[in-house]
Structure 1
Amino acid sequence: MKKLLFLLLAILAFVNVNSQIKKPVKWTSKTEKISDTEFNLVMNATIEQGWHMYSQFTPEDGPLPMVVTVKDQKGNFELVGKTKESPYKKEFNKDFGVEEFYFEGKATLTQRVKITNPKTSKIVINLDFQACQNQCVNDNVDLTFVIPAVSETEVPVATLDTIKTDTAAVVQPEVKQEEVSETNEQPKNEDEKGLWSIFFLAFIGGFAALLTPCVFPMIPMTVSFFTKQSKTPAQGKRNAIIYGVAIIGIYVVLGLAVTAIFGADALNALSTNVWFNVIFFVLLVFFATSFLGAFEIMLPNSWANKVDRQADRGGIIGILFMALALAIVSFSCTGPIVGTLLVEAASSGGIAPIIGMLGFSSALALPFMLFAMFPGWMNTLPKSGGWLNTVKVSLGFLELALAFKFLSNADLVLQLHWFERETFLAIWIAIFGTWGIYLLGKITLPHDSPITHISVGRLMLAILVISFTFYMIPGLFGAPLKLISAFPPPEEYSESPNGVGGSAAVLTSEKLPDGAELNKHGILIFTDYEKGLAYAKTVNKPVLLDFTGHACVNCRKMENNVWTDEQVSQILKNEVVLISLFADDKRELPKSEQHISPSTGAKIETIGDKWTDFMITKYKTNTQPLYVLVDVEGNNLNSITPTTSYDPDAKLYENWLKQGIANFKR
Structure 2
Amino acid sequence: MRKFSALFITLLFTIVAFGQIERPVTWSFDQKNGKGQDVQFVFKAAIDHPWHIYGMNIPAGGPISTSIHFDKTSGVKLVGKPVPQSKLVEEYDKSFDMKLSWYEGQAVFVQKAVVTDPKSFGVSGYVEYMTCNNENCLPPTKEPFTFGKAPVAAVAAPVNTAQPTATQAIATLKTDTSVAAVAVPASVSSNPSSQTWAPVIDQMKAFASGGAENKTGGSLLSIFLWGLLGGLLALFMPCIWPIIPMTVSFFLKRTSDRKKAVKDAIMYGLSIIVIYLTLGLLITAIFGASSLNNLATNAFFNLFFFALLVVFAISFFGAFELALPSSWSTKMDAKSESTSGILSILLMAFTLALVSFSCTGPLIGLLLVDVAVKGSILGPAVGMFGFAVALAIPFMLFAIFPTWLKSLPKSGGWLNTIKVVLGFLELFFALKFLSVADLAYGWRILDREVFLVISIVIFALLGAYLLGKIKLPHDSDVKHVSVTRLFLSIISFAFAIYMVPGLWGAPLKAISAFAPPLYTQDFKPNDTKEIHAEYKDYDQAIAASAQSGKPVLIDFTGFGCVNCRKMEASVWTDPQVKSLLTDKFILVSLFVDDKTALPQSMQVTENGRSTLLTTIGDKWSYLQRYKFGANAQPFYVVVDATGKPLNGSFSFTEDPKKFVNFLETSLKNKK
TM-score range, shorter chain: 0.5 to 0.7
Q: CA deviation at 1:308?
A: 1.4
TM-score normalised to the size of structure 1?
A: 0.54
Residue 451, structure 1, aligned to residue 478, structure 2: yes
The AA in structure 1 aligned to 2:371 is A
From 512, 520, 527, the counterpart of 1:493: 520
Cα distance 1:183–1:320, how it changes in 2: closer, same or farther (>3 A)? Answer: farther
Of 334, 356, 359, the match for 1:330 = 356
Identify if the C-alpha distance between structure 1 residues 41 and 305 changes in structure 2 by more than 3 Å, giving closer, same or farther. closer
**What is the aligned partner in structure 2 of residue 244 from structure 1?**
269
Q: Given the superposition, is the C-alpha separation of residues 74 and 350 from structure 1 closer, same or farther in structure 2, using an over 3 Å criterion?
A: farther
Partner SS for 2:26: coil
After superposition, the Cα gap between the structure-2 partners of 1:158 and 1:216, relative to the gap in structure 1 and judged at 3 Å, is: same
Which residues in structure 2 correspond to 1:192-231 (within 5 Å)?
192-231=217-256
Distance in 2 separating the partners of 1:139 and 1:265: 15
In structure 2, distance between residues paired with 1:186 and 1:81: 27
The 1:176–1:123 alpha-carbon spacing in structure 2 relative to 1, beyond 3 Å, is farther
Cα gap change, 1:196 to 1:41, in 2 (>3 Å): closer
CA distance in 1, matches of 2:126, 2:180: 11
d(CA) in 1 for partners of 2:292, 2:580: 40
1:277 to 302, 317, 341: 302
Q: Structure 2 residue aligned with 1:235, among 255, 260, 283?
A: 260
Task: State the match for 1:343 in structure 2.
Answer: 369
Does 2:330 match 1:305?
A: yes
Q: Aligned residue for 2:468?
A: 441
Shift of 1:476: 1.7
Residue-pair matches, total: 423
Distance change (3 Å), C-alpha of 1:145 and 1:324: same
Distance change in 2, residues 1:466/1:166 (3 Å)? farther
| Contact map agreement 2:505 2:521 (CA 8 A) in 1 | no
1:384 corresponds in structure 2 to 411
Distance in 2, Cα, partners of 1:69 & 1:420: 33
Which amino acid is 2:218 matched to? K
Deviation of 1:279 (Å) = 1.6
Give 3-state SS (helix, strand or coil) of 2:164's partner. strand
d(CA) in 2 for partners of 1:345 and 1:179?
A: 28
Q: 1:260 to 1:41 in 2, by over 3 A?
A: closer
Change in 2 beyond 3 A, CA 1:166/1:250? farther
- What is the CA–CA distance in structure 2 between the aligned matches of 1:489 and 1:200, rounded to whole Å? 26
Aligned partner of 1:400 in structure 2 is: 427
Cα deviation for residue 334 of structure 1 reads 0.5
Structure 2: runs of 5 or more not aligned: 1-16, 29-44, 52-123, 142-162, 531-566, 600-613, 618-671
Using the alignment, how far apart are the partners of 1:79 and 1:388 within structure 2?
A: 46
Whether 1:144 aligns to 2:161 is no
CA distance in 1: counterparts of 2:358 and 2:289, whole angstroms: 27
Distance in 1 (alpha carbons) for counterparts of 2:371 and 2:449: 28
Query: Separation in 2 of the partners of 1:169 and 1:597?
Result: 15
Q: Deviations 1:153-180 (Å, cap 9, x if unpaired)?
A: x989889999x99999999579997876
1:314 is the counterpart of 2:334: no
Q: Describe the superposition over 1:344-389 as per-residue Cα deviations: whole angstroms up to 9, x where unpaired.
A: 1112330110101000011011111112222333343222111111
Shift of 1:437: 1.2
2:398 paired residue among 368, 371, 393? 371
Distance in 2 between the 1:549 and 1:329 partners? 48
Alpha-carbon spacing, 1:409–1:379, altered in 2? closer, same or farther (3 Å): same
Query: Matched residues in 2 for 1:488 and 1:161: separation?
Result: 50
Q: 1:188: Cα distance to partner?
A: 7.3
**Cα deviation, residue 322, structure 1:** 0.6
1:596–1:602: 8 Å Cα contact kept in structure 2? yes
Distance 1:124 1:557, change over 3 A: farther
User: Is the CA contact 1:124–1:144 (under 8 Å) kept in the aligned structure 2?
Assistant: no
Structure 2 equivalent of residue 263 of structure 1: 288
The superposition leaves residues 6-63 of structure 1 with CA deviations (integer Å, 9 ceiling, x where unpaired) of xxxxxxxxxxxxxxxxxxxxxxxxxxxxxxxxxx999xxxxxxxxxxxxx8xxxxxxx
Measure, in 2, the Cα distance between the counterparts of 1:395 and 1:352.
Answer: 22
Residue identity opposite 2:361 in structure 1: G
Q: Which residues of 2 match residues 141-180 of structure 1 at below 5 A?
A: 144=164
SS of the equivalent of 1:73 reads strand
Q: Partner amino acid for 2:367?
A: L
Paired amino acid for 2:358? S
| Partners of 1:73 and 1:161 in 2: CA distance | 32
Maintained 8 Å contact 2:504/2:524: no
Deviates more, 1:409-418 or 1:348-357: 409-418
Question: Match of 1:216, SS?
Answer: coil
> 1:469 pairs with 474, 482, 496, which one?
496
Measure how far apart 1:583 and its partner are.
11
CA separation of 1:380/1:124 partners in 2, compared to 1, >3 Å: closer, same or farther? Answer: farther
Q: Note the C-alpha offset of 1:257.
A: 1.0
- How far does residue 331 in structure 1 lie from its aligned partner after superposition? 0.3
2:359 & 2:140 partners in 1: Cα distance? 51
Match of 2:104 in 1: none
Letter in 2 for 1:459: L
Larger displacement relative to structure 2 (362-371 or 175-184): 175-184
Q: Say if 1:234 and 1:262 are closer, same or farther in 2 by CA, change over 3 A.
A: same
Cα distance in 2 between the residues matched to 1:230 and 1:303: 26
> Equivalents in 2 of 1:598, 1:482: separation in Å?
44
Alignment pair present for 1:430 and 2:383 = no
| Separation in structure 2 between the aligned mates of residue 155 and residue 161 of structure 1, nearest angstrom | 19
- Contact kept, 8 Å, 1:237 with 1:373, in 2: the verdict is yes
CA–CA separation in structure 2 for the residues paired with 1:585 and 1:354: 38
**Contact 1:255 1:354 survives alignment (8 Å):** yes
- CA distance in 2 between counterparts of 1:421 and 1:184 reads 39
- The separation in 2 between residues aligned to 1:214 and 1:161, in whole angstroms, is 71
1-side partners of 2:499 and 2:217: how far apart? 32
SS in 2 for 1:391: helix
Return closer, same or farther for 1:233/1:495 CA change in 2, 3 Å cut-off. same
1:219 CA displacement: 1.5
| Structure 2 counterpart of 1:291 | 316
Amino acid at match of 1:334: T
Cα deviations by residue, 1:272-292 (Å, 9 ceiling, x for unpaired) = 212212222112112111111
